[in-house]
Structures are given as C-alpha cells and as structure tokens.
Amino acid sequence: MYFSRFLSLHALWVTVSSVIQHYPSVWGHYDVCKTQIYTDEGKIWDYSACQPEAIDMMKYVKVNLDPPNITCGNPPENFCGMGNPYMCNECDATIDELAHPPELMFDAEGRHPYTFWQSTTWKGYPKPLQVNITLYWNKTIELTDNIVITFESGRPDLMILEKSLDYGRTWQPYQYYATDCLDAFNMEPKSVRDLTQQTVLEIICTEEYSTGYMANSKILHFEIKDRFALFAGARLHNMASLYGQLDTTKNLRDFFTITDLRIRLLRPATGEIYVDPHHLTRYFYAISDIRVVGRCKCNLHATGCREENKKLLCECEHNTTGPDCGKCKKNYQGRPWSAGSYLPIPKGTANICMPSISSIGTSPKHDRIWPNISSLGVSNPNQECNCNRFGSIRDRCNEKGMCECKQGTTGPKCDKCLRGYYWHNQGCQSNVCDNELQICLNGGTCEKNVRCLCPPTYTGVLCEKPSCEGNSEACNTGQRALTLPCLILLLPLIAPLGLSGFFLF
C-alpha cells in the first residue's frame, strides 16, 4: 500500500515536472499563439495568449506640425547661440546642409553634430512661440519603454506631452513639463518617484526636464519603465505581477496605450527668467531625436505586426481579424469576441473565436477545423470561459457565456474572493479572522485570515478565552497533556512518510 502511494506520488511528480519543462522558468511568456499537443484524441492545437515583440516605433511614425510653416529656413534666417548671441548660423530650407526639416527628428543618429528639426526663431515676441508636433501611427500601440526627446537648443520652459487613444479625435495630457510648475500650470511639482501603485495614473507636472540651457542634459523623458516598476519591481523582474495588474485594470492598460502623441511646445528655453528682446534669434525649438518604443496592440491575439500600404496591421490568430484583432472572423461568431488574457500566468488564455453554429457542417473547411475545437471542448470544457474549476459551480460557462461562481467567490472567472473570504486550495472559504469583522481579541494577531495567533494567556478561535481560567496549574499541565495526544493523532500520518522514505532509499 505504501509502495503504491509512493508510485502515485511519483507519477504526480512526473506530470508536474513535464508541465514545468514545457514552460520557461521565467514567467510571463506570451510569444506563442498556439502549440500542437498530443491527447488521447490525437493532435490538437492548444491556444495561448500572445503579443508582438516591442519595436522602435519611430520607423513607422508619421508627423504633423502645427502651424505648418513653423520650420525654419523659408525664408532663410539667422539663429544664434543662447549662451553667445553673437555666434550665429543660417537656416535655409533650400540648401540641404542648412535645412532642418521634421524628418531629422527620426533619422538614424550616430553622426556628429546631430541632425535636427528646428523651428523659426521667436521674432514675433511677445506673441507666444508655440508648436504642436503630432506623431501618429494609424494603429493602436502599447508603450513598453520611456518616450525620450532630445533637444538641441535647451529643453523648453513649458511643454505638455499629450496622448490620444482615438486617432486624434480626443486628447488627454500625459505629463506637464515646466521650469516652474506652480506658476505655469498651477500644479505642485512632482517626480515619477513620488507615484505609488495607487497614484500611478496621476498626471503630474515635473520640473526635472525643464532646466533649460543651464543644465547639461538635452534629454526629456516620459517615464514608462518607472511606472511599470511600481508593479514589476525595480528591475522589472516580476513582469507577471504587472501583467496580472494590466489584465484586471482597464485604466492601467489604457494608460500605456496610444494611437497618437502630441508634443505641445509652449515656450522655448530662455536660459534665464527674462527674454532678451534685442536678441530674439536666440530663442527657438530644435529637436534631434524622438524615441518611442512599443508593440502593436493586438489584444493578445497575434505575435506578428507587419506594415502593409504604410499601415501597421496585426497578423491575427485565434480566428480573429481587424487591425487590432478586435473582432471575430466571419463564420467564427460562435460566441462574443473577447481579448486574450495574460492570466492565468504563464501562458494566459487565448479566448479564441469559435465557429458560428450555423456554419458548422456547411463548409468542408470548417468541418476540418471543428473537430479540433470540439475535442478541446470535450477534454477541457472550462477552456471556453476559463472558469476557475475550484471557484465556479460548473466547469463550463452558462448559456450567457458567464462563469457561475460558488459562494464567497467572484470575478469573471470566479477566481477571486469576496470580502470576508480567503482563497484556500480549493476555492474561497470564509475568513476565520480579519481586520474588519472578525478581529482577534486580547492582543491576538490574525495570520492569513486562517487563525488568530493568541498571546499565551488567551485561547479560543478569536483569543476570546483566558487560557487557564483561574487555574494556572491545570493550564501548565494542560499544555503538556495536549501535546502527547496530538502526536498520537498525527502518528498515522507521519508513519507512511517514513516508510515511503524507506522504500525510496
């Protein structure tokens, strides 16, 4: 009997280790949309959530400047150094070497001096010199790294970075930049380091990147990675945690998602408090480089994103289609479209589109595909909704496509606990203790909602009873008396372990 128990334990370990081998030790890999697996019913596709790799998005960017004639050189004009108003150069749009067109913000750098776009000078002072630079992709993009802008004539005194999620119809601020936030935008200056998980979506004004000519740095950041680090740790070693958050919090997901960016340059670097009206050729904007790194948003239904007719398109899997894989293919409307899910980690849930009921059997093509999906359905019915098998009443979803949760359980997949419940191996159980309703008494502390750790003088579920009611001796001996019966009770459980150890060696 002990030997057979050991055998079944061994079988379990083999299963577990083969599962572990199947996935890389680093969690959070979403780079495979499907794999072929072998089951009793033959070879079938096993679907996973997937996403394209992050790339340099400036290769695909389009740019629009407002006002359109704001680039210098038409007519030719002189511009001068901010530190030295007598050291001047010429901008002339008709001569390559002296022209500074917008595309020089996106060319490959590496030469010196850098190539840069440049605006006209502030000759209209005191009328503000303002420029909107709109970057657009005609595609939804998820940012994965900091946005970095390099200025060649001092960083602007005032600037707003804005984003759009609807191809430029509406805009939201991303970050304010000013030498004096309070004065410029009536906002307290903040740094990304002041943010927490709770305030990660706050739009801040920062003075870190607006020190103008006097500081050596030419670079301005919008910090994506610092925001990721609030969830994934300083070195982003725990991306699984970030992905978990992104999955459950739409606002957080949307925060890092854009279709367009707009750089609103509101006042050029002046290097000092007052503008010198006699040397207005010192004031202008010049940008040598803009860096935007991200991935095509494909709703976790694609690993590829290609350019077609100068437009980025996801190469959709899971029977989805559309530029963002945002809908089910024709004849695959068997259930409503749904984005893939990063959860459960490490391979997520594909939420593939199922064949339409009416199309089954009408086309030989679908006959070929249907058996695969139905065999998936039979062997693992909860795959469809991915209902948590411990938290849901049935392992498949109901006719509305929803999971039905057991008492104390909640969430679309029934994998979360309501207040007053905690997750235990096989679902949600009501708290023994907590910090709200079932508080441990007499100085006891609640350990993981499972038990109160009582001070020595108290006992009971909530430490409500003095442990030796008026009889200290009974209590002292009682403790010893308790230990022995416990050991006797535990003996049948301990013994097999020892014996199976004997068989092992």
Q: Under the phi-then-psi rule, with left for phi > 0, alpha for psi from -120 to 50, and beta for the rest, what region is 221?
A: beta
Where do the H-state alpha helices sit in 385-451?
Answer: none
- 82 with 213: CB under 8 angstroms? yes
Select the residue interacting with Ca ion from 71, 206, 210, 288 (CB under 5 A).
Answer: 288
286 is a contact residue toward Ca ion (CB under 5 A): no
| CB 82, min distance to Ca ion, A | 20
Return d(Cα 218, Cα 154) in angstroms, integer: 6
Phi/psi of residue 495, nearest 5 degrees: -55, -50
Only segment of 21-29, 196-204, 209-217, 283-291 that touches Ca ion (CB under 5 A): 283-291
- 249 with 257: CB under 8 angstroms? no
Return d(Cα 334, Cα 332) in angstroms, integer: 6
Return d(Cα 487, Cα 481) in angstroms, integer: 11
Q: Which is nearer to Ca ion, 151 or 213 (CB)?
A: 151
Q: Which is nearer to Ca ion, 146 or 288 (CB)?
A: 288
Q: Which is nearer to Ca ion, 111 or 480 (CB)?
A: 111
Q: What are the structure tokens assigned to 220, written together?
A: 């301005």
Residues 6+ apart with CB under 8 A from 396: 381, 382, 384, 385, 387
Return d(Cα 268, Cα 274) in angstroms, integer: 12
Q: Which is nearer to Ca ion, 220 or 440 (CB)?
A: 220
| CB 62, min distance to Ca ion, A | 17
Residue with tokens 């239904």: 301
Only segment of 100-108, 197-205, 247-255, 375-383 that touches Ca ion (CB under 5 A): 100-108
Q: Which is nearer to Ca ion, 104 or 242 (CB)?
A: 104
Could you count the other beta carbons within 10 Å of the beta carbon of residue 24?
11
| CB 113, min distance to Ca ion, A | 10
Site size with Ca ion, rule: CB under 5 A: 4
- 78 with 89: CB under 8 angstroms? yes
Whole-angstrom CA distances from 117 to 70, 194, 289, 290, 414 are: 10, 33, 9, 11, 54
Only segment of 6-14, 170-178, 217-225, 282-290 that touches Ca ion (CB under 5 A): 282-290
- 238 with 230: CB under 8 angstroms? no
| CB 150, min distance to Ca ion, A | 8
454 is a contact residue toward Ca ion (CB under 5 A): no
Q: Which is nearer to Ca ion, 133 or 181 (CB)?
A: 133
Q: Which is nearer to Ca ion, 107 or 395 (CB)?
A: 107
Q: Which is nearer to Ca ion, 288 or 303 (CB)?
A: 288
Range 179-208, binding Ca ion (CB under 5 A): none
Range 101-130, binding Ca ion (CB under 5 A): 104, 107, 115
Residue nearest to Ca ion as judged by C-beta position: 115
Only segment of 67-75, 126-134, 259-267, 286-294 that touches Ca ion (CB under 5 A): 286-294
Only segment of 188-196, 274-282, 285-293, 300-308 that touches Ca ion (CB under 5 A): 285-293
Q: Which residues bind Ca ion (CB under 5 A)?
A: 104, 107, 115, 288
